[in-house]
Amino acid sequence: MGLFSSAADQAKRAVAEAALAYVPRGQVIGVGTGSTANFFIDMLGDLRQQIVGAVASSEATAQRLKKVGIEVLDLNSVNDLPVYVDGADEISPDLHLIKGGGGALTREKIVAAVARQFVCIADESKCVDILGRFPLPVEVIPMARAYVARELVRLGGAPDLRIGVTTDNGNCILDVHGLEILNPIEMEREINQITGVVTVGLFARRPANVALIGGANGVRRLEARA
Ligand code: 5RP
């Protein structure tokens, strides 16, 4: 059951604060997108003198980072990214994730791929046993939209075009309902292989390393099962 919004915000604030402990001083940090990441960005502002800068997973995050005085760096100019902090829409016990509710899945996946450690921050309503209740976002090249939708139906999903949304990369998003994702690694691979798909918002081949989960009893830390 979801938390009431003020309790959820409190939980998001708590995990954002807990994530500050993972920020490596004197280095560049990767920063994600969404309301939980926004709490983190606002707190990261207080550490701006202690980090070199940040790589942003979206234009919205880049704007917010700049607003709090943090330099935003191009990922191509960064050789080492020790940590990436970001939220999620669903988190499994293996720390496989569904992401992309905010539409930033492609850049999020790129930054996560480069980062050595992915710290996921979320309130406890995001924890599930099996991924798929949250519609799975898939970023698609616009001319392939109908073809990709048909292929997703073949995989058992019910794709819905996210109306009025164009991603930072100029593409559209299909939100796929009705999937029970029993094998996230295999499904990520399968959807990635559909021609016209840019990114699927399943983060299973590169899961989070650590999840900081906020709830009524404070913040608990989960690590990926061996
Ligand atoms: C954006 C994302 C976000 O991390 C995800 O949607 C969670 O957002 P929020 O922290 O607002 O619940 O993947 O593309």
Beta bridge partners of 91: 97, 127
81-123 residue pLDDT tens: 999 999 999 999 999 999 999 999 999 999 999 999 999 999 9
The mean pLDDT of 66-70, rounded to a whole number, is 98
The Å distance, Cα 105 to ligand 1 centre, comes to: 9
Residue to substitute in 89, 105, 173, 200 for testing ligand 1 pocket (most ligand atoms within 8 angstroms of CB) = 89
162-198 residue pLDDT tens: 999 999 999 999 999 999 999 999 999 999 999 999 9
Percentage of the chain surpassing pLDDT 70?
97
Asked if 62 and 104 touch (Cβ cutoff 8 Å), the reply is no
The Å distance, Cα 122 to ligand 1 centre, comes to: 9
- Containing 14, the helix (H) or strand (E) segment is helix 5-19
What is the value of pTM for the model shown?
0.96
Strand duo 83-86 + 28-31: pairing: parallel
Which atom from ligand 1 is nearest to the alpha carbon of 99? 13
- Is the CB of 104 within 6 Å of ligand 1? yes
Alpha-carbon distance of 38 to 59, in angstroms, equals 13
pLDDT at 140 over 50: yes
Look up tokens 């406890």; give the residue: 124
Cα end-to-end span (Å), the chain:
28
